[in-house]
Structure 1
Amino acid sequence: MGWLFMPFTSMGGHKSAKSYLDAQLTYEHDNDDGMTRGLRVLASSCPGNRVYYAAAQTLENGVAGAVFAMVCLVRWNPRSRDGHQFGYKDMSENMGPCEADCPAHILDLLTPTESQYALEWRQRCRANIAHRARKLVDGDRLRLPEPMTFTDGHVAQEFIVTKRGRRVVLRDPDTGGCYRISRLMERAWSIIPVTRIHKTVFA
């Protein structure tokens, strides 16, 4: 499905993308064959108000069925000249979305699937969760899978971690230059073991 844009007034009073999409994906319809089919959102999240993730359960004649993931790209444009301030593009996990930051509590609700696209998407989501759970300590020596070229032309693959409050700055061990890498916790870096010398304390 493509993008659907609308003015805020068409959101049915919903103040957030999450609440609006929760309502859109929860429904039941009577079909011509006499069956009632629908969906029910069991859990959802919209991190950064940019991508919506949901565990949606199928309903058939009121009986709950399989649970699969829905992903919606979200766009906000309050100053839109044509009055279409909100838009979204929905897709299922079976389409193998590029966005793979679905929270664990939603992934845990999904039922088994044979869709290869969905299985690969779930695996990417789990890998991203594992990456973000890693810890960086001041003084760690970090190594990227491949050398990275920065805007100043510098090329480096290994860095010393410097913690400045909640910020992480990477220092080149050879030149002393400091750099920042976007979405660092989602990248496939590794920590190189280093020998740390502790001060001797005499009683």
Structure 2
Amino acid sequence: MSYEDIGIAGDVTEALEAWLARRYDNVVDIEVRGVHEGEYAAIAYAAVQSPESSGPVGAVVLMLKHDPEGGSYGYRIKEMTEDEGPVVDFCPVRILDQLSPTENHFAEHWRDRCRQRVTENEGMPQFSKS
């Protein structure tokens, strides 16, 4: 999936949760983390439920970049599901523990990487938790 435009004038976590809520029946949990390296303004990890609200809970990663052409509130956002094997792998254990079992190789590998990284990077800054 490619980047799309998003305007964020207020709380980043609230804006990203609202963005996800338009795509999924249920945003079970979300955590937005600041990134001090690279091109991202923030990375969000979310546990979401698919279109049927009693369906499995999966992970979604949102990568947020500043868009200089969009003014001070302009951002570009990219969404990746865990089944796509995102490169960013700092998902907190709290989110991982809420996910339904999966047999998808990419998702399993991503979850394993996240669990390994979480202990290495406990002090990573956060915007907020819900």
Same structural fold, with TM-score higher than 0.5 when normalized by the shorter chain: yes
Give 1:53's aligned residue.
45
> After TM superposition, what 4+ stretches of structure 1 lie above 6 angstroms from structure 2?
none
Pairs aligned (count): 116
Any stretches of 5+ residues in structure 1 without a counterpart?
A: 29-37, 134-182, 184-203
- Greater strand share, 1 or 2? 1
Q: TM-score, normalising length from structure 2?
A: 0.78
Q: State the Cα deviation string for residues 61-118 of structure 1 (Å, max 9, x = none).
A: xx421000000111124xx245472111001000000000001110010000010000
Alignment correspondent of 1:20: 15
Q: How does 1:149-168 map to 2 (within 5 A)?
A: none
**Distance of 2:10 and 2:49 partners within structure 1:** 24
- C-alpha distance in 1, partners of 2:61/2:16? 10
Q: Give the whole-Å Cα distance in 1 for the aligned partners of 2:97 and 2:60.
A: 14
Structure showing the higher helix proportion among its residues = 2
Q: Partner residue of 2:76?
A: 87
Which residue type is aligned with residue 20 of structure 1?
A: A
Q: TM-score, normalised by structure 1?
A: 0.51
Aligned to 2:109: 120
Q: For the aligned residues, what is the CA RMSD? A: 2.3
8 A contact 1:4–1:88 mirrored in 2: yes
Name the SS of the counterpart of 1:64 in structure 2.
Answer: coil
**Rg comparison, structure with higher value:** 1
- Secondary structure, counterpart of 1:70 in structure 2: strand
Consecutive unaligned residues of structure 2, counting only runs of 5 or more, are 35-40, 125-130
Distance 1:119 1:81 in 2: 37
RCO higher in 1 or 2 (8 Å CA, sep ≥ 6)?
A: 2
1:17, 1:74 within 8 Å by CA — same for their partners in 2?
no
Seq. identity, %: 31
Query: What residue identity is the alignment partner of 2:18?
Result: A
Match status 1:41 vs 2:27: yes
Q: How far apart in 2 are the matches of 1:125 and 1:89?
A: 19
